Structure 1
Amino acid sequence: MLGPDGRPIAADDDDDFLDNGDAGEARLPRGLTLRALVPNAITSAALCAGLTGIRFAINGDWQRSVLAVILAGMLDGIDGRVARLMKAQSRFGAELDSLADSLSFGVAPALILYLWSLQQMPRFGWFASLAFAVCCALRLARFNARIDLEEQPHKSAGFLTGVPAPVGAGLAFLPLYLWIASGRDEFRNPIFIAIWVAGIAFLMISNMATLSWTSMRPRRSVRLGLIAFVGLTIAALLTEPWLTLVGISALYLISVPVGVYRYARIKRQRAAARRPAVPIAS
């Protein structure tokens, strides 16, 4: 076989130049196509953003540290959609995404909150940070372990299991949002922060059903209002970002019991559908 320069290529090097079925598209080593680089590059950018948040926290720049993690969450929200749009899904991308999420939404928030408040009580505060990082990793490991399972009751009904890792990171920062918005040191109390972080860690690994985008189906009568609400929310984020983040976090926390209630109703409906009909006596 001849290479691009006209020279013969050794047999063990052929895989680096195999065509993957698309005309003119070469395959990179180990089966990673050029097309797959785009979503994986976005995932890498999310990882870099999350870890950069730690650097900002070390320098005491709390606002930029939080914004870096939020940017990582935004990038994490589009990499999978880009992969599906470009038909570039791969097991490599799924594994990279989980590893990046563990660092960006587990390790980074845990260290940021520790440097901001929890280090005031080093032992207990450090354990709270560890609990958050470990629970985030456990959640992602559980997600990967269930990818190939056909029977997933929550997923089949359009729900998620527990709080997603990016959302958990955003909720963990709620006291930090309040502190930046108000400047009151009460929101920086390490005991309160430790309890809060432990609670969010529990929500991430819990088995409760939480709402997902697919389970939200607004009625036609409110869709225009919902579009206007999203636009106003973006405007609020640009003008009053920290209070708006507080409001978004509060709305999500309110949605948690709503998701549990809606899934319980669907579960009862499924059980009733599976129950054999009782014959009517003549």
Structure 2
Amino acid sequence: MPIDPNNPEMRRRRFRPIPVRMLVPNFITLLAICAGLTAIRLSTEGRMELAVGAIVFAAVLDGIDGRVARMIKGQSKFGAELDSLADFVNFGVAPGLILYFWQLHELNNGGWIAAMVFAISGGLRLARFNATMDDPNKPAFAANYFTGVPAPLGAITVLLPIYLAFLGVPEPPAVLTAAYTLLIGFLMVSRLPVFSGKTVRMRVPPEMVLPVFVSVVFFIALLIGYPWYILSVCTVLYLLSLPVGWKSYRDHERKAAAQAVTPASVTPSDPAAPFVSSAADAGRDDRPARLN
């Protein structure tokens, strides 16, 4: 039947009410964008501590919005695209500009190039993540690893020189800060396997609920009371953990390759060979039946 746009029934169907649960994650993402844009403004005004705090707040919101969406079943394609745009602004553009206004401007065009390369690296890393998210060729163990440093952690990590400056450590030369910025940008777009923890079971035994609550509250209190110490220590530990994640990924890769080679290594003289051959033939004979 042809669609009549003037039909009131069709207009009602087109503009269906949207459940509130679909909007809540997007509100959180928009709040994160506001935090990232405010960080840029604060950095132009020289209020670097508040600017860095706004980036950390945006990172916290980025970790919340996806979990809230899954918890209340409010996932949507619109929300996924909005989240990617928010990550580019908050963890690509904003940290690069903060570093530029803080010290990289001393290098003139060189500092601007370093800040710009970092921002572009964040955008490229997000584009690659979206393009390979549903890759069917990924091995099962790869679900527990990111490809390259994630954008939020890249933003938190690249601001390490500013954390140290807030602690009274002498500022490094601008050239060294630019080199560190380029290094983190390279790690974001690299093929380095980074442990994500997505497949780690999040269930807590009943006897551990109260200790977990106390630990979380204690960590938040430390972060509020000693933010630059905690951020500096966490950043250094994260950088040190990158080789561990790479080694873990290679170990899983070798195990998967060994398991794939083992069936092919069975020779006809092996007593188990007839059984393997029969099982393979049975699988080949049965496949058309299942497809039909």
TM-score bracket relative to the smaller structure: 0.7 to 0.9
Matches for 1:38-77 after TM superposition, within 5 Å? 38-77=24-63
Shift of 1:155: 6.2
Counterpart code for 2:189: I
Q: Is the 8 A contact 2:141 2:252 kept in 1?
A: no
Query: Which of these two proteins has the greater Rg computed from alpha carbons?
Result: 2
Q: Give the 3 Å change call, closer, same or farther, for CA 10–169 of structure 1 in structure 2.
A: same
Change over 3 Å in CA distance of 1:200–1:95 after alignment to 2 = same
Q: Find 2:13's aligned residue among 15, 19, 24.
A: 15
Map residues 1-282 of structure 1 onto 2, 5 A cutoff: 10=8, 13-18=11-16, 26-27=17-18, 33-153=19-139, 156-182=142-168, 184-187=169-172, 189-214=173-198, 227=212, 232-275=218-261, 276-279=264-267
Q: Which structure 2 segments of 5+ residues have no match?
A: 1-5, 272-292
Relative to the length of structure 1, the TM-score reads 0.84
CA shift, 1:49, in A, is 0.3
Contact 2:42–2:50 at 8 Å: present in 1 too? Answer: yes
Q: Distance in 2 between matches of 1:68 and 1:155?
A: 35
Q: Distance in 1 between matches of 2:221 and 2:35?
A: 23
4+ runs deviating over 4 angstroms:
215-218, 226-232
Q: Which letter does structure 1 place at the counterpart of 2:181?
A: V
Secondary structure of residue in 1 paired with 2:136: coil
TM-aligned CA distance change 1:123 to 1:263, over 3 Å: same
Q: Distance in 1 between matches of 2:66 and 2:133?
A: 14
Asked if 1 retains the 8 angstrom alpha-carbon contact of 2:40 and 2:97, the reply is yes
Q: What letter is aligned with 1:186?
A: E
On the 8 A contact 2:161/2:171 being kept in 1, the answer is: no
**Deviation for aligned residue 1:210:** 0.6
AA aligned to 1:148 is: D
Secondary structure of the residue that 2:166 maps to in structure 1?
A: helix
Structure-2-length-normalised TM-score: 0.81
Partner SS, residue 21 of structure 2: coil
Note closer, same or farther for the CA distance 1:230–1:259 as it changes in structure 2 (3 Å cut): farther
Say whether the 8 Å CA contact 1:209–1:259 is kept in structure 2: yes
SS class of match (1:95): helix
For 1:210, what is the secondary structure of its paired residue?
strand
Specify the alignment match of 1:5 in structure 2: none
Q: CA deviation at 1:92?
A: 0.8
TM superposition shift of 1:151? 2.1
Q: Partners of 2:38 and 2:119 in 1: how far apart? A: 17
Deviation at 1:15, TM superposition (A): 3.4
- SS of equivalent to 2:20: coil
In structure 2, relative to structure 1, the CA distance for the partners of 1:155 and 1:126 (3 Å cut) is farther
CA shift, 1:266, in A, is: 0.4
Q: Percent identity?
A: 43
Deviation of the 1:17 alpha carbon: 4.0
Amino acid at match of 2:134: D
- 2:265 counterpart letter in structure 1: A
Deviation at 1:157, TM superposition (A): 4.4
One-letter identity of the residue aligned with 1:211: F
Q: Which amino acid aligns with 1:213?
A: G
1:235 deviates by: 3.2
2:265 aligned counterpart, secondary structure: coil
User: Is contact 1:154–1:209 with CA below 8 Å preserved after alignment?
Assistant: no
Contact 2:92/2:119 (8 A) holds in 1: yes
- 1:15 corresponds to which letter in structure 2? R
Answer yes or no: is the 8 Å Cα contact 1:102–1:136 preserved in 2: yes
Q: CA RMSD in A?
A: 2.5
Query: 3-state SS of the aligned residue for 2:194?
Result: strand
In 2, the alpha carbon distance for the partners of 1:88 and 1:281 equals: 55
